Amino acid sequence: MALADTLQSLQEIDFSDLSMDNLGTWPTPVKALVWVVVFVLILAGGYFMVVQAQQETLVREQAQEGELKSLYERRAEEAANLDAYRVQMVEIEKNFGVLLSQLPEDTEVPGLLDDISNVGVNNGLALNFIGLKSEQRKEFYVELPITIKATGDYHDFGAFVSGVSSLPRIVTLHNFSVVRKKGKGKKAGVLKMEILAKTYRYKDD
């Protein structure tokens, strides 16, 4: 009823008679309405100027909190496994040293060519040609291609490949080309092989 009475009173007021000069004599319902409007405006202004900005800051801080939690969990896991990582690092360095020792230096390449030749001869191959090609520089190492031409039978080739893989230095074999030589009798089973072998050396720089 009080609200209905207030609305009724507002309807009976002649707002044209109201001015800022006679603010103190305004009817009570009008003053109440003005206070309500002012209060609502203050609340709205406070929300948009203060609360909304703080809410946006809160959202950013919450997102950052999640990232920091994930980072903390990763760091905690790494710290818990630090001893295992150290052991693993020592093992990696050891293995790396072993691999480096298998990469020939420039002065060892002629000896490596002799080793490959001996493997071929000892396994029944007739080596027709063996020689270095231009080296290929990669990011961490240098590739040394070696062209090998030989003749023999299938078993000789198989034994040769196995022997090369057993060398103390790293040698890989690529681009096999095997063709049968023309001939009769014993020569009919002779094969010609051309293969590209690659060895590697570490780039000191």
The CA–CA distances, whole Å, from 136 to 141, 169, 198, 199, 200 equal 9, 18, 10, 11, 9
Domain ranges of the chain: 1-80, 106-202
Residues of the chain with pLDDT under 50: 1, 3
Q: Where are the beta strands (DSSP E) in 21-134?
A: 126-132
Tell me, yes or no, if the pTM score tops 0.75. Answer: no
Highest CATH level, class, for 106-202:
alpha beta
Quick one: pLDDT at residue 27?
Answer: 64
> Other C-beta atoms within 10 Å of 151: how many?
17
Q: Which tokens in the block code for residue 78?
A: 């790494």
Quick one: pLDDT at residue 93?
Answer: 84
Quick one: pLDDT at residue 142?
Answer: 85
Closest by CA position to 190, among listed 147, 157, 148, 146 = 157
Quick one: pLDDT at residue 1?
Answer: 43
The CA–CA distances, whole Å, from 54 to 57, 60, 66, 68, 106 equal 5, 10, 18, 20, 68
Quick one: pLDDT at residue 9?
Answer: 56
